[in-house]
Chains A and B, each alone.
Chain A
């Protein structure tokens, strides 16, 4: 999905009918702990990358690479091994949907 630039997104919001203004899907509980390092709503912080808006498939692939120690990592490899495929899919869907 194309990411809207902030200015365009603002315009889209202004023109959208009221119904479309409903908040995005609530965060699944499993995604909330990511905020401890990646910032509230996955916005990123310092050396820890932004994950909001991360492409869904790329998220799943990166996770698999962390889990298999095939991607350089300082701690994500240890974290990745604690989540199963269904959970990773849920995380990927949620963060892909954030702006």
Chain B
């Protein structure tokens, strides 16, 4: 591994003939050290955008994994319609743009000294930090659901190297026809609001083709969910009789799991025996954000809605699922959209310019619910004095209506979903 000092990096960059946008500009003119923690949609988009828009910034990305497996399209892997390599992205594109990629865990942040401590022992100094660490699972928030339990009842909600999603896929393949697939779904807020329901749909699509007598029971800690009408229309049309969704007010909240017997137990003590169980657990901001004292009592990080600077620490901009972005969803698209605003704000501060004015944060979440059947929700958001607001009379979900009338709309949205996946991963990783 190369040494991590600025001087060593400059020398390495020079000797490697590192691609700079303007070869005539020497490294000495750097306007600051921008360090990004986390190579997901937020962090990768931030690093890429910083190199394009602010080529004089020295950009370092700290990420423990050699490649990134996306959460989006993981549900298509469960349906057997994507493979792991198809949803895995390397950091080579960012390296080619001059991002210094450090493959290590960021173990801690010293906000006073403005340094990041790596598990490997080194310390990385920053002038501005973009923190995009994602979520942590709140182990034991559901009694009995700990890290060992996830080897039997996978969450498949933090993809890692794809182990969890692959495990759930193998379990579905081994499920006998007539078996029961159970889902435990958390209260708000959590990563990817429509994700559990797309997952139910994609599992149903697989079961309909391969194990048509199997059943799905979805136990939910909420009474309402994203794109609910559209999902339920699709379940009735495509998978009649297969899916039972149990809301909070019908005792849907799972409070305990029995790992050995594969039983989901709800608040009022109803015990649901399943053959394959997917527990999507309650979540918080990732550990590094909590340890750095950036989170409040909610477990998430309050941020300035114009700059994404943490309320509790200067020069640390927190983007992606870890921050309190409500009413914006915790989505890859919002992470991508807000990453650029955070980088622009950080760069402006480093280069002595005023912060950029209010802008628009944008989200589209597509969900696949069956073959050639896609639906979406659109949100156009703006910063307010205290947070974020949806722009009135805009956005919203796909039109409802019988499939016979909406077939072309559903087909187009499934195609657009694929285009979205290709586009946004290019905008983050290429």
Chain A residues within CB distance 8 Å of chain B: 23, 26-27, 29-30, 32-40, 45-48, 74-75, 78-79, 81-83, 87
Contact = CB atoms under 8 A, between A and B. Distances in A.
Contacts of B341: 29
A38 B424 CA distance: 9
B404 interface: no
Given A74-B409, A78-B396, A36 B336 contact: yes
A48 B423 contact: yes
Given A36-B427, A48-B416, A30 B393 contact: no
B419 A78 contact: no
A29 B416 contact: no
A40 B427 contact: yes
B380 A82 contact: yes
B420 interface: yes
Nearest to A22: B22
A33 B356 contact: no
Interface residues of B, number: 38
6 contacts: A29-B344, A37-B420, A45-B420, A75-B364, A82-B378, A82-B380
B415 interface: yes
A82 B380 CA distance: 6
Contact of B49 (A32, A36, A39, A79): A32
| Of listed A29, A32, A36, A40, residue having the most chain B CB within 10 A | A36
B391 A82 contact: yes
B364 A37 contact: yes
Given A32-B337, A74-B409, A79-B394, A46 B427 contact: no
Contacts of B427: 35-36, 39-40
Contacts of B359: 29-30
Contacts of A87: 360
B426 A83 contact: no
Given A36-B420, A47-B419, A48-B423, 8 more contacts: A33-B361, A35-B336, A39-B427, A40-B423, A46-B415, A47-B412, A75-B376, A87-B360
A14 B396 CA distance: 48
B113 interface: no
B394 A36 contact: no
Interface string B369-383: 000000010101000
Contact of A79 (B336, B380, B418, B426): B380
B255 interface: no
A87 B424 CA distance: 22
B53 A27 contact: yes
B73 interface: no
B63 interface: no
A20 to B, nearest CB: 15
A79 B360 CA distance: 12
B104 to A, nearest CB: 28
B70 to A, nearest CB: 13
Contacts of A23: 21
B362 interface: yes
A92 B82 CA distance: 36
A36 B364 contact: yes
Nearest to B345: A29
Contacts of B380: 79, 81-83
A83 B419 CA distance: 23
Contacts of B426: 39-40, 45
Contacts of B356: 29
